[in-house]
Structure 1
Amino acid sequence: MTYQTITLDIADDTAVICLNRPDKYNALNGLMRAELTDAVRNAGREARVIVLTGSGAAFCSGQDLSDSGDIANPDLERTLRDEYQPLVRAIVDSPVPVIAAVNGPAAGAGANIALACDVVIATESAYFLQAFSRIGLLPDAAGTYTLPRSVGGPKAMGAALFAEKISAKDADAWGMIWEAVPDAEFETRWKARAAYLAKGPTVAFGKIKEAVRASWHNDLQQQLDLEGKAQGACGQSRDFKEGVLAFVEKRAAKFEGR
């Protein structure tokens, strides 16, 4: 598929999806949402890790308000149900790890699309902004789900109510993201992280995603049962056998992703 608002490059088992509307700070319009959803779904079948990043100065400035249709009477519920929900689900349900490489400001839905990813690596000059209340809305694109689970209720509530910028360094300190990286090291760092995941035990990574995310709503017994089933599946993978053999032979494992 040829994309108009994003680029997709797949090499060395790594799919890099780049939001490509730099003149709009990569604001999300309907076409971009559809293309992102399609690209994430396809990349999960063709690569062993996916990276979402942005072109230009921003990661994503959120919803393109000029693309909201009838601004006096917008159908935001439909937009969320038909366009944002499939995108969030594509990221969360991807069988391979998804990294958000946040190269600049991530605001509104752009922030929450990043936070829906499995790992968020941000350049130190970036920030996250739950801008919704500034225009009379509440956080969406799973923001009210991911934020409390990453930073706790008080920080999540303050971020939503006050709509203040959260620096990448603070996001790192709060546990909102995996790491904030000096700007000069950013590209090298996320590429190294992606390369590590692309060459790792893909079946195990998929089961890790499934188990960690399920723990948010499972009780103890449900989680123990899930772990047992997931570990059983991992134990049947070729990568498990290679990992054990490599350990015994005292060498680096050569995982095939199956």
Structure 2
Amino acid sequence: MSKTNKNPQILSSVSNALRILKSFSTFKPTLKVSELSESLGLAKSTISRLLSTLTHEGFVVKDKKTGAYRLGISVLTLGGIVTNELEIHNEASPVMHKLVSETGETAHLAVLDGLSTIYIHKEECNHPVRILTHLGRKNPAYCTSSGKVLLAYDEKKLVEEIIRQGLKKYTANSISEPEKLLEELRVIRERGYAISTEELTEGTRSVAAPIKDYTGKVVASINVVGPIQRMKDYKIPEIARKVMRAGEEASERMGYDKRFLG
């Protein structure tokens, strides 16, 4: 549906170009003019002109065979600048490296982006598996350990909005009942960490803990993820302790002091 901006300071052409860029996702890495026209409520001619400009500047690339567009290298360049300037990224990096060494599994740093989680840093283990966790990837918050941690400590209205939009089942283990999600978030707050077992991707398990800033607000989550064959049930308590310790260390590097903030 097309958006109408009444603010005279907002340029509709720039706004629409940015809406095009934000339409791409991991689930839809390529898009055609017709698809963008339908989803954004803009004429195909308008979409085509905007894509031509974005192509010229390197923000999208056109596949000559299919006519579909994908994001270009300019997006990656800007993303790298943003990531490097994030304080949480800089402070958590050494902690993540240590966590990978301790657990032997891949670690991620994630933050909330709307109703989803987005990975802003990743430390690969020596024996990685093919898991959809690349940098910049967005995942539904309610069916990942990182997302559930962030939801557990966020405002109630965010959880309510996710429930209102519907809890889609990605696997047999995905949480699809509102009451079950609310109970899960309560347990997470109580024990201090979250577990996700094949809730988004079959064959994988992850454990996440919160990272707090100097005010005590949860601003990110840190996790480890790996195949169930390695992250067996009996290993989870010890892995959870290490992940929580990593979250506490990252929080301290962010200025959090539990002696005063609890």
State whether TM-score is above 0.5: no
Q: TM-score, normalised by structure 1?
A: 0.31
Computing the radius of gyration from Cα coordinates, the structure with the larger value is: 2
